[in-house]
Structure 1
Amino acid sequence: MIRINLLPHREAKRKQKQAAFVALMALGGLAGVAIVLLVGAWNASRIAVQDERNLVLKTAGAELDKKIADIKTLKEEIEALKARQQAVEDLQGDRNQPVYLLDELVRQTPEGVYLKSFRQTGQLVTLNGYAQSQERVAELLRNVSGSSTWLERPNLTEVKVATLEKSKSGRKVVEFQMDVQIKRPREQEELPGKPGAPAAGATVAKAP
């Protein structure tokens, strides 16, 4: 017996293909969504790792900045302590400056020069005196600027011809004023007790 299929087989095949296409598209969509989710999760994990690294670096940088600030503060404190220590040492050394100054003036004042007064303001000493001639004043300048252990940077501020006080003959001399700087003991290369160190009991003036 022969059977004849009267159903429209072409329409059935078309519907079958459409169903397969829809199923394939759905499967592809699901696969795409899965891939997107996987890539997004991977990217999120990498971003989280990088954020953790950035946080570690930021924390380390903050700690380093704090240490640098502490070191800077410590250096400032050390410098302040050094300055105070130096000030104390200078004060202790300055107690002997009058002895050094008197002894050095005796050493460096040449014959023919008479120092009538001097005034010390800090490290600046102002000398006033008389000299037989300007050459004697120049010699005093050379002595202080060249071979003096405790005096330096002489500056002649005034020089003029004057008459000696209480001089019956009206003798003319050179009156001068000079500024010099006195060095601190820490600035000396030679220690007290070695050659060139000051001796007590010195006098200032040498008669013209």
Structure 2
Amino acid sequence: MIRINLIPYRDARRQQQIVHHLSIFFAVVVIAVLLAMGAHTTASMQLSDLKEETIRVQQQNAELKKKIGKIENLANLRGDVERKLDIVDRLQEGRFRSLKTLHEIAKVIPDNVWIKSVKDGGDTIELSGLGESNKAVANFMRKLDQSPLFSNIQLLVISRITVDGLPVRTFSLNMSRIDELPDRKKASAAANKGGKG
């Protein structure tokens, strides 16, 4: 009878199975390590991108803060300029107002009346001066009353004095100044009256 010894075959097969299992195990371990390294690399790249994006956003934020600061400064400067322009406008108005007042007084003053002082108190004006007679002062007051710029003419005091040996009257009077409407307001008022009629 022929005997076949199968023990070496079984041992070889068992060794072959162990090698096969070990190779599968190592392959799984290598794949797991590669997957972990890939995930780590991807996460590192994403983290790097996020850091770059954060830096870029911070730079944009700093630039925007600078621009907002400039805009706030511009708004403050604009407010200052507007306030200064308003002051200049008021000063210009006052200057032309005084000029118109003096021009109107010069237009209506008779030859025999002389002005010593003019005090402009805004809406009221105080005049003091000399007149040749009571009649000359009365004539001056009448002309002031007929002027479109003045109203409510009131004689405060009139008295007789002598200047260089000549008898004259010293007087003081108050009057109200009537402000004229600016041209734009006049046009608007005229249009409103025309529209109502």
Instruction: Compute the TM-score of the two structures, normalised by the length of structure 1.
Output: 0.48
Give, as a single letter, the amino acid of the residue that structure 2 aligns with 1:23. L
Q: Does 1:78 align with 2:77?
A: yes
Match of 2:58 in 1: 59
Match of 2:183 among 138, 151, 162: 151
Kindly name which structure, 1 or 2, has the bigger radius of gyration based on alpha carbons: 2
**Greater RCO structure (CA 8 Å; 6+ sep):** 1
Q: CA deviation at 1:11?
A: 2.2
Cα root mean square deviation, aligned: 3.1
Match of 2:172 in 1: none
Instruction: Compute the TM-score of the two structures, normalised by the length of structure 2.
Output: 0.50
Match of 1:12 in 2: 11
Alpha-carbon distance in structure 1 between the residues aligned to 2:26 and 2:193: 110
Alpha-carbon distance in structure 1 between the residues aligned to 2:90 and 2:10: 117
Give, as a single letter, the amino acid of the residue that structure 2 aligns with 1:78. L
Alpha-carbon distance in structure 2 between the residues aligned to 1:67 and 1:27: 59
Alpha-carbon distance in structure 1 between the residues aligned to 2:19 and 2:100: 115
Give, as a single letter, the amino acid of the residue that structure 1 aligns with 2:44. S
Give, as a single letter, the amino acid of the residue that structure 1 aligns with 2:34. I
Give, as a single letter, the amino acid of the residue that structure 1 aligns with 2:77. I
Give, as a single letter, the amino acid of the residue that structure 2 aligns with 1:77. N
Deviation digits for residues 8-65 of structure 1 (CA, Å, limit 9, x no counterpart): 3432232122111111111101211221122122112212211210220121122122
Segments of structure 1 that go 5 or more residues without pairing to the other structure are 105-114, 126-149, 160-208
Runs of 4+ in 1 over 2 A off after TM superposition: 4-14, 96-104, 115-120, 150-159
Alpha-carbon distance in structure 1 between the residues aligned to 2:54 and 2:96: 62
Whichever structure has more helix as a proportion of its residues is 2
Segments of structure 2 that go 5 or more residues without pairing to the other structure are 105-145, 150-177
| Fraction of identical pairs, as percent | 10
